[in-house]
Amino acid sequence: MKNFFVLADAISFIEDNICNQFNHQIIADYCYVSLSSLQKLFRLALNLSIKEYISKRRISLAAEDILSTEMSITDIAYKYQFSSPEVFCRAFKKVWTVSPTVYKKQWKSSGIFPKIHYDYIEGEDQVVPV
């Protein structure tokens, strides 16, 4: 059960700070676990590394911004902590197979990697005898 809370806290931290610069150790410190434990937990629970999860979420949110705002590709790239528009375009193309400009013209949806919700409701994990 502890791992559930750690994973939920880590995902919550990532989502709350997705537009900020942070490293994996900061996430582990926030969750009061070692970095290696957090990395193993992500790999086991999500079949993704922490880096992959963050990257996919940032690309997915960037895709939403491309479709729903008039922000420039450069502004979106920097908003989601990519080091340059070129790096962003390469990462975007790996996921969507088209450039951000072509994506804006051709696509209507951006829900490729939605936020993972881990909400714990007290007592729902209890088995009630019939």
pLDDT digits (tens, 9 = 90+) for 95-121: 889 999 999 988 776 556 666 665 655
Axis crossing angle, helix 24-31 with helix 35-46, rounded to the nearest 10:
90
Q: Which of 53, 47, 58, 1 is nearest to 27 (CA)?
A: 53
Assign a CATH topology to domain 2-106. Arc Repressor Mutant, subunit A (1.10.10)
**Hey, how many other C-beta atoms are within 10 angstroms of the C-beta on 19?**
11
pLDDT digits (tens, 9 = 90+) for 37-86: 999 999 999 999 999 999 999 999 999 999 999 999 999 999 999 999 99
pLDDT digits (tens, 9 = 90+) for 6-21: 999 999 999 999 999 9
| 79 token code pair | 């908003």
Domain extents in the chain:
2-106
